[in-house]
Amino acid sequence: MPNKTTKALPLWLLVTVMALSLIGLVDSGYLTLKHFSGVPPECNIFSGCDVVTTSEYSEVFGVPLALFGAGYYLAVFLLAVFYLDRKKLIALNLIRLATVFGFLMSIWLVYLQIFVIGAICEYCMLSAISSTLLFTLSLISLRYIKISNPAER
């Protein structure tokens, strides 16, 4: 028996989450490949891709931030697929939690680009936009409560 009014999560929301996750995954995957190849990405809009992607802020313990980003986007995508298939609330809640951290990290990285490094990487900005949109969609998903019984959690 439902303990709250339930509204199903609309399919468009999940499909958009999956699409944005794939965009972020391709983007961060590209940056990861460029990092390991030692060739900075070419910028078409801004001229700071090489400066940003080779800065001291581009790695954590020798691991490129783009690789962490790829893991983040892959996790969000897989959780969305899992939720679409199984309708388990835990998957939706993990997406919400992940996108909070992704959004906060994006704010930090955009700050570093603009105010510390003094250069902008369009690929990094694409990731920040993707992450921000994912966070926005996770906020929208809060309007849809999907708790019917403990078995759905």
Q: Could you report the per-residue pLDDT of 97-138, keeping only the tens digit for each?
A: 999 999 999 999 999 999 999 999 999 999 999 999 999 999
> Global pTM?
0.89
Alpha-carbon distance values, 143 to 66, 136, 149 (Å): 32, 12, 18
Report the run of H or E that residue 64 belongs to, with start and end. Answer: strand 63-64
pLDDT at 1 over 90: no
pLDDT of residue 139: 96
Residue-averaged pLDDT of the chain: 91
**How far is residue 26's CA from residue 76's CA, in Å, rounded to a whole number?**
13
Q: How confident is the model at residue 144 (pLDDT cuts 50, 70, 90)?
A: confident
Report the run of H or E that residue 12 belongs to, with start and end. Answer: helix 11-37
What is the sign, positive or negative, of the torsion defined by CA atoms of 55, 60, 63, 69?
negative
Tell me: the pLDDT tens digits for 62-85?
A: 999 999 999 999 999 999 999 999
Q: Does domain 11-144 have CATH number 2.60.40.420?
A: no
Q: Where are the domains of the chain?
A: 11-144
**How far is residue 21's CA from residue 40's CA, in Å, rounded to a whole number?**
23
Copy the structure tokens of residue 20. Answer: 């944005």
